[in-house]
């Protein structure tokens, strides 16, 4: 029998009754907190005829209305915060749908809650305090870097805060600093593996033992490839900034679903059309309620991620609900090298250049990295311009996309009327990745 380590066994292996009790108490508190402190929720609950006193147990959660990304946008940047400014200690952000970011905030206690999640994930992946944890997720407004960083420090490991980019340097650090665990997006892990191969570095020459990969979809095939390329055990980690960041759920050695930190983030799966709950094992939209957070305790937040959950106890001994890998989204958000991109953001940028709103976004995976190409029809007026003029416009659009979306894209201006027209909804995205 494998020896299993937990970061917080009292929660991770708690009985379902204990979890129910914790969740019931925390949901009642969260509902009271948002009703009293967030005008948006007061108005919404009043509209639905719900008062905090109606919520006595976690089973009452279905009485509550949903929250969507648009609500965060309508209250941009700070309108949904439930605590005064002096209680905040951190701000992060992720892509919005129009160029405006979704802004999230944390109190000191919220950082502890979030860090519990990443610490649980690290321990489940076998990390110990004697390990060097190499973090190649981006540091900054994105939650990946600092999320895993705090978790690694919390368990007493030594963090190597490399952040993303400069692959040759990453490899040098992996070699020289003897990193034991690596945290980055799965596509970047694959890219590091390929680069090592092209440099003639064998994975066996590194002490690296495990990797914690998330922020974008990846398949079981990709897991096998990464494990081979880096000579490690690869674990999945899921999360979203609106709820906390990475560590909302995480894999254990069974690699059979991600354990949700449901003492803080209560999961539901609903039918995206009827919004009614669906039974365990059925795919639907994943919805989370933040029951242990202070600054931004979102209620029934529709993630748009499609997944299924199961309450079956895992062989690892954890009783926490498991969710499948997300199988897609119920909106049009793309994830390009870990960065969330909405087609509407691309449109917003390109229209500033006086081109027609006829464009298509192509996404491919080359050498295990996502490549985005935006084809845009030039206007009739521009048709007579020289090749040089056209290249200048392409370069300007490319740099505007990079600065607005934080992702580099190839830009190709094409002849007027050359992109396919659709009779219904325009087909804006052609995603050729086989993930």
Helical ranges in 275-318 per DSSP H: none
Pairing assessment for the beta strands 301-307 and 102-107 based on DSSP bridges: unpaired
Choice between 108 and 327, CB closer to ligand DLL? 327
Longest dimension (CA), the chain: 73
Cβ 145 to ligand DLL shortest distance, Å: 8
Contacting residues for 11 by C-beta, under 8 A, at least 6 apart: 19, 22, 263, 320
In the complex, minimum distance from the CB of residue 289 to ligand DLL, in angstroms, rounded to a whole number = 15
Q: How far is the CB of 184 from ligand DLL (least distance, A)?
A: 9
- Contacts with 435 (C-beta within 8 Å, 6 or more apart), sequence order: 217, 218, 219, 222, 365
SS3 65: coil
Closest distance between ligand DLL and the C-beta of residue 153, in Å? Answer: 16
Beta-sheet strands, E only, within 219-346:
233-240, 245-251, 258-260, 265-270, 284-290, 301-307, 309-310, 322-323, 334-336, 339-341
- The residue to which tokens 């003639």 are assigned: 200
159 close to 197: Cβ distance less than 8 angstroms: no
For residues 241 and 360, which CB has a smaller minimum distance to ligand DLL in the complex? 241
Do the strands 322-323 and 309-310 form a parallel or antiparallel pair, or are they unpaired?
A: antiparallel
* Nearest residue (beta carbon) to ligand DLL: 214
CB of 245 to ligand DLL, least distance (A): 5
Q: Is the dihedral of CA 350, 354, 356, 357 positive or negative?
A: positive
The smaller minimum CB distance to ligand DLL, of residues 179 and 303, is found at: 303
Radius of gyration of the chain (CA): 23
Nearer to ligand DLL, 42 or 100 (CB): 100
Which residue in this structure is represented by tokens 């969710």? 323
- The nearer residue to ligand DLL, 223 or 318, going by C-beta atoms, is 223
Which phi and psi angles does 197 have, rounded to 5°? Answer: -60, -45
How far, in Å, are 51, 115, 227, 300 from residue 362 at the CA level? 47, 36, 29, 33
Among residues 126 and 416, whose Cβ is nearest to ligand DLL? Answer: 126
Q: Which is nearer to ligand DLL, 245 or 343 (CB)?
A: 245
In the complex, least distance from residue 246 CB atom to ligand DLL, rounded to whole angstroms: 4
What is the closest distance, in whole angstroms, from the C-beta atom of residue 312 to ligand DLL in the complex?
A: 20
- What residue ranges bind ligand DLL (CB under 6 A)? 94, 137, 142-144, 214-217, 236-241, 245-246, 303, 305, 325-326, 335, 340
Q: Shortest gap between Cβ of 360 and ligand DLL (angstroms)?
A: 22
- Whether omega before 322 lies within 30 degrees of 0, making that bond cis, reads no
Q: Burial, 333: exposed, middle or buried (Cβ in 10 Å; 0-12, 13-18, 19+)?
A: middle
Give 115 or 143: the residue with its C-beta nearer to ligand DLL. 143
Shortest CB 331 distance to ligand DLL, Å: 10
Closest CB to ligand DLL among residues 149, 318: 149
Neighbours of 172 (CB within 10 A): 13
Nearer to ligand DLL, 61 or 237 (CB): 237
Closest among 53, 44, 25, 41 to 82, alpha carbons compared? 41
230: tokens are 């880096």
Question: How near is the Cβ of 217 to ligand DLL at its closest, in Å?
Answer: 4
DSSP alpha helix (H) spans, 48-107: 69-74
CB of 423 to ligand DLL, least distance (A): 30
Q: How far apart are the first and last CA of the chain?
A: 33
Q: By C-beta, is 340 or 360 nearer to ligand DLL?
A: 340
């Amino acid at each position: 029998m494998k020896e299993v380590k937990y970061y917080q066994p009292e929660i991770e292996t708690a009985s379902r009754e204990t979890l129910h009790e914790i969740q019931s108490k925390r949901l009642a508190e969260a509902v009271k907190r948002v009703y009293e402190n967030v005008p948006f929720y007061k108005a919404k609950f009043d509209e639905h005829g719900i008062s905090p006193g109606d919520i006595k147990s976690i089973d009452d959660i279905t009485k509550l209305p949903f929250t969507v990304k648009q609500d965060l946008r309508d209250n941009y940047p700070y309108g949904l915060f439930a605590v005064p400014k002096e209680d905040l200690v951190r701000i992060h952000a992720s892509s919005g749908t129009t160029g405006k970011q979704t802004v999230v905030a944390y109190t000191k206690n919220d950082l502890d809650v979030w860090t519990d999640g990443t610490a649980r994930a690290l321990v489940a992946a076998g990390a110990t305090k004697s390990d060097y944890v190499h973090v190649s997720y981006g540091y900054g407004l994105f939650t990946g870097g600092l999320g895993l960083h705090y978790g690694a420090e919390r368990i007493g490991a030594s963090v190597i805060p490399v952040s993303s980019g400069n692959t040759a340097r990453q490899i040098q650090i992996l070699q020289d600093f003897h990193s034991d665990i690596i945290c980055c997006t799965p596509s970047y892990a694959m890219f590091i593996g390929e680069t090592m191969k092209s440099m003639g570095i064998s994975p066996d020459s590194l002490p690296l033992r495990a990797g914690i990969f998330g922020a974008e979809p990846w398949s079981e095939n990709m897991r096998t490839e990464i494990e081979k390329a880096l000579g490690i055990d690869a674990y999945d980690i899921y999360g979203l900034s609106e709820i906390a960041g990475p560590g909302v759920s995480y894999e254990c050695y069974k690699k059979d679903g991600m354990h949700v930190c449901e003492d803080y983030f209560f999961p539901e799966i609903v039918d995206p059309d009827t919004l009614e709950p669906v039974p365990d094992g059925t795919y639907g939209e994943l919805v989370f309620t933040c029951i242990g957070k202070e600054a931004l305790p979102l209620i029934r937040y529709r993630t748009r991620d499609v997944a299924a959950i199961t309450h079956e106890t895992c062989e690892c001994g954890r009783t926490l609900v498991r969710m499948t890998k997300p199988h897609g989204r119920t909106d049009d958000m793309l994830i390009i090298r870990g960065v969330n991109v909405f087609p509407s953001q691309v449109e917003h940028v390109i229209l500033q250049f006086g081109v027609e709103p006829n464009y298509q976004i192509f996404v491919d995976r080359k050498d295990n990295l996502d490549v985005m190409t935006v084809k845009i029809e030039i206007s009739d007026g521009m048709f007579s311009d020289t090749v040089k003029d056209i290249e200048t416009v392409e370069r300007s659009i490319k740099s505007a996309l990079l600065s607005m979306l934080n992702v580099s894209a190839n830009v190709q201006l094409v002849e007027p009327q050359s992109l396919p027209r659709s009779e219904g909804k325009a087909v804006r995205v052609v995603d050729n990745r086989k993930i």
